[in-house]
Each structure stands twice: as C-alpha cells, then as structure tokens.
Amino acid sequence: MPSDWLRIMTDERFSFFSSAKRVMNGPPVFLHPSDTLQVVAEVISREGVGAAIVRGPLGPEGIVTERDIVEALAQGAKPDDVWAVDIASLDLVTVEPSARVRDVIRKMAQYGIRHVPVKADGEILGMVSARDILAWLEG
C-alpha cells in the first residue's frame, strides 16, 4: 500500500487545482468535551462521519474517531462514564484550505491518521478523510 500512496502523491494531476477545501466535507461535526462515549457514538453514527471535533470554550480541543471509540470500548470503557475529551486525540493535525491534496495525503501517512481537519483563522471549516480522497480519485 505505501507504494500506492507514493504513486498518488507524485502524480501531477493531484498538484494542480486540487485543494483540501475542494475535497473536504463540511461543516464539521462538533462534540462537547463532556459528551459521554455513548453520545459520541450516537452523534458520529447519526451524522454518518468517521470523526468529530471536540470543541471547548477556547475552540477546537481534539478529535474523536471511530477508531477511538472502538479502542475505548475494547479497553472496558463504560459508555456513560467516559467523556469525549478522555478518548480524544488532543494534538490536532490540521491543514489550511489551500493545502494540496497530495500534502493532505502526506500528513495522513506521516501521522498514521485517516482524518485531517481543515482550519483557517482558528476555526475548523471541515474535514478531509481518507474516504473523501478515495471518492475524489474516483472522480
């Protein structure tokens, strides 16, 4: 699979006119830091997304993905006793709306992630997921 990513990243089609803003889904789904794991799972399922942003009083605090939910449950977390902020990845890896898709792919590969929030002026505008990129590649 890494060779496929490298082939995509070096394909010239993806360096022209293709930005994160063009590929992203938005607006993003937000969670409150004190939402329970149960609420987090319900929101992500209802909204049909793979990740949601945890937003506190000072702005984005982290991201919760489907994988975070599964890992928490596998470790014995009780859905009504664990908060979103407890399972969130707190170091957000983001891109600007003008970032090239190939740069988004590089970040995903570099950090081992499947969701990258698109951020401008301190606000999360949307999210690019690996699924979004694959759909975009399909044209």
Q: Which residue has the tokens 């984005």?
A: 60
Q: Return the domain boundaries, the chain.
A: 2-138
| Tokens 């990845």, located at residue | 89
pLDDT, the chain, mean: 89
20/14 Cα distance (integer angstroms): 11
Q: Which CATH class is domain 2-138?
A: alpha beta
Q: What is the pLDDT of residues 102-125, one digit of tens each?
A: 899 999 999 999 999 999 998 999
Report pTM. 0.83
Strands 30-31 and 51-56, by their bridges, are: parallel
Q: Which helix (H) or strand (E) holds 37?
A: helix 37-47
Confidence at 16, pLDDT banded by 50, 70, 90: very low
Please, are residues 89 and 78 in contact by the beta-carbon 8 Å criterion? no
